[in-house]
């Protein structure tokens, strides 16, 4: 069934009714921006959390390095270049190791010394490094890039997908082991694809590997960290701005998704779906019902409820699902989505 047909059918459902008075995307963007401005910390970062429940009822503070990367990307993608955005990018640059790599634990080893009290040091990882460079390429010293690419290639698998952590690279025996046996993550590799495209590296092998990795309609059951199809499609669309034709990949990922379930999705997935569908050419008429639904979820302080950006294994026995996210991350992504559809409401 065509996307437009499905959207028209969904519009008839009461949950998508446009008759109720809601704020405009423009006002929602302003409110979201105010929330992010007032909650940004002095160093340019935002607080983030982990939780053993997807509604973050038992939120536990976590390092802010990677979450701030995600927020900075959303702000830049929304076309913002204000002081708040610049400050967030400066924070990201300040957390890189001298060799041009990033770790989700930060070069201050937040997981070891402040938060989870790991008895080891978290090695740099391909996901944070790829996103870090994508955000800071205009200011970082580019003489480090050849070594960075050499490191990536050392952790490239036969399938052309890259492993998550650069294990035993910096901290040797003092480094932490990787969860999921350091199996490549589809979501992480989508961020790596954008990094390679930005730097004019050969993206064809990785793009083909990602298409192959998402062939099965239930591929997300085996996916690591990023589990939901709307968010994976969102990650896939970024490379297009650097010349990679990712529309087939985004379309391929969403072809397996039951859009009838979107009203039950959290605001992260709803925002991601809005951005991805507009990328594929969905019209203003197509997306308006989803925008209305997103607008209804904004709180009076301008924020959107926290929802998982990604998940991992945790707990004392490392056998529980741990969710990672924050109101700031959800709000930044919602702001990005509303900026994409803003002209539809003018």
Residue ranges of domains in the chain? 3-345
DSSP state of 164: S
Out of 3.30.70.930, 1.10.510.10, 1.50.10.20, 1.10.3720.10, the CATH code matching 3-345 is 1.50.10.20
pLDDT (tens digit, 9 = 90+) per residue, 158-201?
A: 999 999 999 999 999 999 999 999 999 999 999 999 999 999 99
pLDDT at 25 over 50: yes
pLDDT at 115: 86
Residues 290-341 pLDDT 10s: 999 999 999 999 999 999 999 998 766 567 899 999 999 999 999 999 999 9
pLDDT for 315: 66
Q: What is the pLDDT of residues 194-251, one digit of tens each?
A: 999 999 999 999 999 999 999 998 998 889 999 999 999 999 999 999 999 999 999 9
Specify the pLDDT at position 140: 87
**Residues whose CB is less than 8 angstroms from the CB of residue 239 and which lie 6 or more positions away in sequence, other chains included:** 190, 193, 194, 197, 203, 207, 246
Q: Kindly provide the residue ranges of all beta strands, DSSP E only, lying in the chain, ordered along the sequence.
A: 48-51, 60-62, 310-314, 320-325
| pLDDT of amino acid 233 | 98
- Summarize the confidence of residues 36-61 as an average pLDDT: 96
Helix (H, G, I), strand (E, B) or coil at 167: coil
Name the average pLDDT for the chain.
Answer: 91
Kindly report whether the global pTM for this prediction surpasses the value 0.85. yes
């Amino acid at each position: 069934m065509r996307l437009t047909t499905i959207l028209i059918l969904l519009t008839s459902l009461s949950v998508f009714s446009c008759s109720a008075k809601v704020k405009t995307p423009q006002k929602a963007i302003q409110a979201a921006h105010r929330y992010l401005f007032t909650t940004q910390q002095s160093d340019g970062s935002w607080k983030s959390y982990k939780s053993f429940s997807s509604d973050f009822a038992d939120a536990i503070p976590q390092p802010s390095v990677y979450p701030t990367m995600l927020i900075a990307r959303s702000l830049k993608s929304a076309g913002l270049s204000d002081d708040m955005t610049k400050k967030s990018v400066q924070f990201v640059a300040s957390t890189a190791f001298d060799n041009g790599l990033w770790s989700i634990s930060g070069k201050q080893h937040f997981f070891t010394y402040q938060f989870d009290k790991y008895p080891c040091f978290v090695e740099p990882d391909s996901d944070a490094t790829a996103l870090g460079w994508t955000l800071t390429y205009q200011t970082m010293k580019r003489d480090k890039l050849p070594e960075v690419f050499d490191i990536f290639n050392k952790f490239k698998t036969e399938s052309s997908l890259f492993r998550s952590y650069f294990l035993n690279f910096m901290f040797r025996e003092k480094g932490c082991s990787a969860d999921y046996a350091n199996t490549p993550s589809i979501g992480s590799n989508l961020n790596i694809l954008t990094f390679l495209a930005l730097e004019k590296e050969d993206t064809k092998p990785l793009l083909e590997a990602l298409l192959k990795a998402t062939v099965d309609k239930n591929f997300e059951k085996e996916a690591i960290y990023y589990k939901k199809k709307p968010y994976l499609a969102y990650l896939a669309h970024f490379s297009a701005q650097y010349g990679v034709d990712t529309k087939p990949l985004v379309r391929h990922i969403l072809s397996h998704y039951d859009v009838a379930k979107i009203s039950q999705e959290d605001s992260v997935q709803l925002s991601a779906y809005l951005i991805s569908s507009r990328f594929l050419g969905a019209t203003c008429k197509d997306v308006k019902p989803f925008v209305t639904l997103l607008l209804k979820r904004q709180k009076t302080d301008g924020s959107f409820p926290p929802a998982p950006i990604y998940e991992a294994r945790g707990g004392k026995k490392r056998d529980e699902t741990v969710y990672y996210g924050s109101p700031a991350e959800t709000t930044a992504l919602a702001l990005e989505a509303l900026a994409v559809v803003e002209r539809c409401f003018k």
